[in-house]
């Protein structure tokens, strides 16, 4: 065999293992098409028409303008956000499926041990899109107006004043049980099926004390039909800067705030997650988007994948510890 043929034949033999390796690589690793080169789907794990859905559509409109690719908002509600979450965890790892979720993402796993996914390991963090807050509010006829006054009154009347939350296992429920422990209070928990019925009963005085999302409570707070007492968070919220935090009254542990964020399945190429993160950071800082998000009672964030990953890990640790220490069970 001529030398040149032997060389070609030998090169071909050497290439065979490499071809096998390439064939075994995930599809996205060999996809050299510019990103994005096809439509992006944002899965919202709750019903259409809520705040998450509204933010997904705001982001989708701006991403379509910037990237020239359609963005599809796909609502997949069910099983307390887990239906849509599982769908994204199992989606192709190509950067074309994202999950716009919220704090329940790191609260559900300790509440439901057989949930079927790890909220950190099975996902790629993209960006914390926005932050919200939970507020402790009281009915207009409730005599206490500050946290120290409320604690004094409830302590003097053990078992008399139940507190409402917007559901079992929600931020309001977990923080309510934490407040009971930290302040040494005897209060029954009354779970509502969402924030709207809780707000209605609080305003009417059917339940005097409630932990409720700021977005739900704000119209009633502005009209004087609810009285703000304290807010969760490490510092005062830009949404209601006049309302003190629990920390200001000496109650620690209320620092984790509610958030909304974008995730992709684990294994998505980091450069694709970074590209979407960069666009989200730009979009939430646009004056018209900032204004619209604040109208939805959200504070725009738009951080990096690394920063959001740290939030996920820290919050999972905090909420898991609270659920365990407070012995919160979902019946």
Query: Three-state SS string across 261-303, please?
Result: EEEEECCCCHHHHHHHHHHHHHHHCCHHHHHHHHHCCCEECCC
Residue 62 CA to residue 210 CA, distance in Å, equals 37
Q: Any alpha helices (H) in the chain, and if so which ranges? A: 3-24, 51-67, 82-89, 104-111, 147-156, 171-183, 195-204, 214-222, 270-284, 287-295, 305-325
What confidence tens digit (pLDDT) does each residue in 259-307 have? 999 999 999 999 999 999 999 999 999 999 999 999 999 999 999 999 9
What confidence tens digit (pLDDT) does each residue in 37-65 have? 999 999 999 989 889 999 999 999 999 99
pLDDT band at 22 (very low <50, low <70, confident <90, very high): very low
Residue 249 contacts residue 179 (beta carbons within 8 Å): no
Q: What is the mean pLDDT of the chain?
A: 90
What pLDDT shows up at residue 4? 36
Residue 179 CA to residue 155 CA, distance in Å, equals 12
Q: Is the pLDDT of residue 13 over 90?
A: no
The CATH class, in words, for 134-249 is: alpha beta
State how far the alpha carbon of 22 is from the alpha carbons of 15, 27, 30, in Å: 10, 9, 8
- Residue that wins the pLDDT comparison between 81 and 25: 81
Any idea where the domains of the chain sit in the sequence? 37-131+258-325, 134-249
What confidence tens digit (pLDDT) does each residue in 115-174 have? 999 999 999 999 999 999 999 999 999 999 999 999 999 999 999 999 999 999 999 999
How large is the average pLDDT for residues 241-250?
Answer: 96
Residue 90 per-residue DSSP state: T
Residue 20 CA to residue 289 CA, distance in Å, equals 48
What pLDDT shows up at residue 329? 86
Residue 174 contacts residue 322 (beta carbons within 8 Å): yes
Identify the three-state secondary structure at position 117.
Answer: coil
- Residue that wins the pLDDT comparison between 15 and 179: 179
Antiparallel, parallel or unpaired: β 123-131 and 259-265: antiparallel
The token duo for 18 is: 């490499």
Surface-to-core class of residue 28, CB atoms within 10 Å of its CB (0-12 exposed, 13-18 middle, 19+ buried): middle
Q: What is the torsional sign of CA 42, 46, 48, 49?
A: negative
Residue 207 contacts residue 164 (beta carbons within 8 Å): yes
The token duo for 307 is: 């920063």
Q: How many CB atoms lie within 10 A of CB 225?
A: 17
State how far the alpha carbon of 46 is from the alpha carbons of 82, 172, 302, in Å: 9, 18, 21
How large is the average pLDDT for residues 309-315?
Answer: 96
What pLDDT shows up at residue 20? 41
Asked whether this chain's domains 37-131+258-325 and 134-249 adopt the same fold, the reply is yes
**CATH architecture for segment(s) 37-131+258-325:** 3-Layer(aba) Sandwich (3.40)
Between 7-21, 101-115, 118-132, the lowest mean confidence (pLDDT) is in 7-21
Residue 138 per-residue DSSP state: E
Number of H helices, E strands in the chain: 11, 11
Residue 106 CA to residue 39 CA, distance in Å, equals 28
What confidence tens digit (pLDDT) does each residue in 211-231 have? 999 989 999 999 999 999 999
Q: Is the pLDDT of residue 309 over 90?
A: yes
The token duo for 94 is: 């190509």
What pLDDT shows up at residue 331? 66
Antiparallel, parallel or unpaired: β 134-138 and 189-191: unpaired
What pLDDT shows up at residue 39? 98
């Amino acid at each position: 065999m001529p030398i040149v043929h032997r060389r070609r034949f030998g090169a071909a033999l050497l290439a065979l293992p490499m071809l096998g390796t390439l064939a075994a690589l995930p599809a996205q690793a060999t996809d050299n098409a510019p990103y994005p080169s096809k439509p992006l789907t944002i899965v919202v794990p709750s019903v259409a028409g809520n705040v998450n859905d509204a933010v997904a559509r705001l982001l989708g409109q701006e991403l379509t303008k910037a990237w020239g690719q359609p963005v599809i908002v796909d609502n997949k509600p069910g099983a307390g956000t887990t239906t849509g979450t599982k769908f994204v965890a199992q989606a192709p790892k190509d950067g074309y499926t994202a999950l716009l979720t919220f704090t329940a993402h790191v609260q559900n796993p300790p509440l439901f041990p057989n949930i079927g996914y790890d909220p950190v390991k099975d996902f790629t963090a993209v960006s914390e899109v926005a932050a919200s807050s939970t507020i402790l509010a009281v009915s207009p006829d409730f005599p206490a107006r500050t946290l120290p006054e409320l604690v004094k009154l409830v302590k003097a009347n053990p078992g008399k004043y139940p507190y409402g939350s917007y559901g079992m296992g929600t931020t309001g429920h977990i923080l309510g049980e934490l407040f009971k422990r930290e302040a040494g209070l005897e209060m029954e928990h009354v779970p509502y099926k969402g924030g709207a019925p809780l707000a209605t009963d609080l305003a009417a005085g059917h339940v005097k004390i409630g932990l409720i999302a700021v977005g739900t409570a704000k119209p009633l707070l502005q009209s004087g039909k609810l009285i703000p007492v304290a807010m969760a968070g490490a510092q005062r919220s830009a949404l209601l800067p006049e309302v003190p935090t629990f920390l200001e009254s000496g109650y620690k542990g209320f620092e984790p705030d509610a958030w909304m964020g974008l995730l992709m399945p684990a294994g998505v190429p980091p450069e694709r997650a970074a590209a979407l993160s960069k666009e989200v950071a730009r979009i939430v800082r646009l004056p018209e988007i900032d204004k619209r998000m604040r109208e939805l009672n959200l504070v725009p964030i738009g951080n990096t994948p690394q920063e959001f990953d740290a939030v996920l890990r820290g919050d999972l640790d905090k909420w898991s510890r609270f659920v365990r220490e407070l012995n919160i069970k979902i019946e």
